[in-house]
């Protein structure tokens, strides 16, 4: 059997997979990211009502992503040393406050403030929830990570659809209605926090005892982390070009309506959700490196074709791009967790935070490019970003973990 396949099988776990907990945090991830994805979904309305440029829209995304990306590794680091189960339900209140502010924001400053509050909600939710997914995985971390992440992808896909059906019709103030979903999420996460406190911490300790010492020297582990972060950079800057500006691209190039453009964005984000769901369990079975390589080699020809495609082919191409790009993220996160065992929270926060930050920075830079050179130039430039993924050839091989005993 090849080294790559053995290298990235699931780490040992205890007591089997607790699907009810993984489904619960996946459901809350869906609610969380649906609320947060309403921000880019209402960009066309904000652009008209506040007279914003593409660059100013990019700065709104940057304000959201930076508050999330800067704090997530800090939250994860603290949680590794001092677990705080009640941070899960408590963090949802930031998202509630963010949407409440955005629902009444009639100035650019308030929009930036509301976006920053949404980012704070993410900074607490994601690293702690990813830790819980690992605790409940029962030796199947790729599957658990995919189920957790796909909830967020589904929420991101539902956000534009909700905006098309509700916000476009009833206006910005309707965001306050979606803020109430944070209360539902808070109630579910309160129960998850109880399991976390009474069972999850014991499972984590038992799993750490089975896993043993770090499998690689520190230098090689850090090199692997750096390469994985470079892959995240290429993938999430490209994803930012689609999530933030795809609707503008479709409207400008093909003359479609805002509602039709939002539906195209929903279909793309749904394909991202499907790719996320597949990537983790496939990585558990065949090896995470294979998933990463398939994502790189499969998506590059498609991104090069997209700027030259007709409206008919833009849909299928965007779906295939979403599937392939997203399939690698669960494999990347679990690979990184296995490179640095015992630091699940910090690694989760680092990778979720870095992905958000690069998405925000990419949106801001690409907004400036769109203002100066036109929206189509954005996609001509971004088409080459997946080529950075060839750095995956330098990823280290992980030793085969101990056999799992239920």
Query: CA 17: distance to chain centroid?
Result: 23
Residue of 223, 204, 253 whose CA lies nearest to 339: 223
| Opening angle at CA 141, ends 136 and 143, nearest 5 | 95
| CA dist., res. 364 & res. 354, Å (int) | 15
| CA dist., res. 298 & res. 387, Å (int) | 11
Query: Contact, 366 vs 58, CB < 8 A?
Result: yes
Instruction: State the pLDDT at residue 401.
Output: 47
Instruction: State the pLDDT at residue 324.
Output: 92
| Opening angle at CA 206, ends 201 and 211, nearest 5 | 125
DSSP state of 397: P
| pTM, two decimal places | 0.72
Please list the ranges in the chain whose pLDDT falls under 50.
Answer: 1-13, 212-213, 401-406
| CA dist., res. 109 & res. 337, Å (int) | 38
Count Cβ atoms below 10 Å from residue 172 Cβ, excluding itself: 17
Query: Contact, 376 vs 253, CB < 8 A?
Result: yes
| CA dist., res. 215 & res. 180, Å (int) | 45
Query: What token pair was written down for 161?
Result: 């659809």
CA distances to 44, 212, 356, 362 from 12, rounded to whole Å, are 47, 10, 29, 37
| CA dist., res. 148 & res. 25, Å (int) | 6
Query: Contact, 85 vs 124, CB < 8 A?
Result: no
Three-class secondary structure of residue 385 per DSSP: helix
Instruction: State the pLDDT at residue 318.
Output: 93
| CA dist., res. 162 & res. 171, Å (int) | 12
Query: CA 241: distance to chain centroid?
Result: 15
Residues in CB range of 231: below 8 A, 6 or more apart: 292, 296, 328, 332, 388, 389, 391, 392
Residue of 236, 271, 237, 249 whose CA lies nearest to 43: 249
Residue of 174, 247, 255, 227 whose CA lies nearest to 351: 227
Query: Contact, 370 vs 47, CB < 8 A?
Result: no
The CA-to-CA distance between both ends of the chain, in Å, stands at 24
Instruction: State the pLDDT at residue 6.
Output: 36
Question: Domains in the chain and their CATH numbers?
Answer: 13-394 (1.20.1250.20)
CA distances to 40, 247, 347, 370, 379 from 255, rounded to whole Å, are 20, 11, 43, 17, 17
Locus of tokens 């997914």: 133
Residue of 18, 1, 28, 25 whose CA lies nearest to 139: 18
Residue by residue, DSSP assigns 297-347 as HHHHHHHHHGGG--HHHHHHHHHHHHHHHHHHHHHHHHHHHHHSTT-HHHH
* Cα dihedral sign, 329-335-341-347: negative
Query: Contact, 145 vs 282, CB < 8 A?
Result: no
């Amino acid at each position: 059997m090849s080294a790559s396949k053995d290298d990235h099988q699931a780490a040992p776990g205890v007591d089997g997979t607790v699907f009810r907990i993984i489904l619960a945090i996946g459901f809350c991830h869906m609610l969380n990211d649906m609320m947060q994805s309403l921000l880019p979904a209402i960009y066309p309305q904000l652009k008209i009502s506040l007279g914003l440029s593409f660059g100013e829209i990019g700065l709104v995304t940057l304000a959201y992503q930076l508050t999330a990306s800067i704090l997530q590794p800090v939250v994860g680091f603290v949680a590794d040393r001092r677990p705080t189960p009640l941070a899960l339900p408590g963090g949802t209140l930031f998202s509630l406050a963010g949407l409440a502010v955005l629902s009444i924001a009639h100035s650019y400053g308030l929009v930036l403030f509301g976006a920053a509050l949404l980012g704070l909600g993410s900074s607490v939710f994601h690293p702690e929830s990813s830790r819980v997914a690992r605790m409940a995985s029962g030796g199947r971390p790729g599957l658990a990570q995919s189920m957790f992440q796909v909830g967020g992808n589904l929420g991101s896909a539902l956000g534009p659809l909700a905006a098309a059906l509700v916000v476009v019709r009833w206006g910005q103030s309707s965001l306050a209605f979606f803020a109430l979903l944070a209360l539902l999420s808070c109630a579910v996460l309160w129960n998850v926090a109880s399991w976390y406190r009474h069972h999850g911490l014991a499972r984590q300790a038992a799993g750490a005892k089975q896993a043993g010492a770090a499998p690689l020297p520190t230098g090689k582990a850090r090199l692997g982390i750096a390469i994985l972060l470079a892959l995240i950079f290429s993938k999430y800057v490209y994803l930012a070009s689609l999530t933030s500006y795809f609707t503008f691209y479709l409207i400008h190039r093909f003359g479609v309506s805002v509602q039709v453009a939002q539906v195209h964005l929903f279909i793309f984000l749904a394909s991202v959700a499907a790719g996320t769901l597949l990537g983790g369990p496939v990585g558990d079975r065949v090896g995470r490196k294979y998933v990463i390589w398939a994502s790189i080699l499969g998506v590059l020809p498609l991104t090069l074709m997209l700027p030259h495609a007709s409206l008919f082919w833009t849909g299928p191409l965007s779906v295939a791009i979403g599937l392939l790009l997203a399939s690698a993220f669960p494999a990347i996160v679990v690979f990184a967790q296995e490179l640095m065992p015992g630091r699940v929270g910090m690694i989760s926060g680092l990778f979720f935070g870095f992905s958000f930050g690069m998405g925000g920075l990419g949106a801001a830079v690409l907004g400036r490019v769109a203002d100066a050179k036109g929206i189509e130039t954005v996609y001509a430039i971004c088409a080459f970003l997946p080529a950075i993924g060839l750095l995956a050839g330098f990823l280290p091989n992980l030793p085969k973990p101990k056999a799992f005993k239920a």
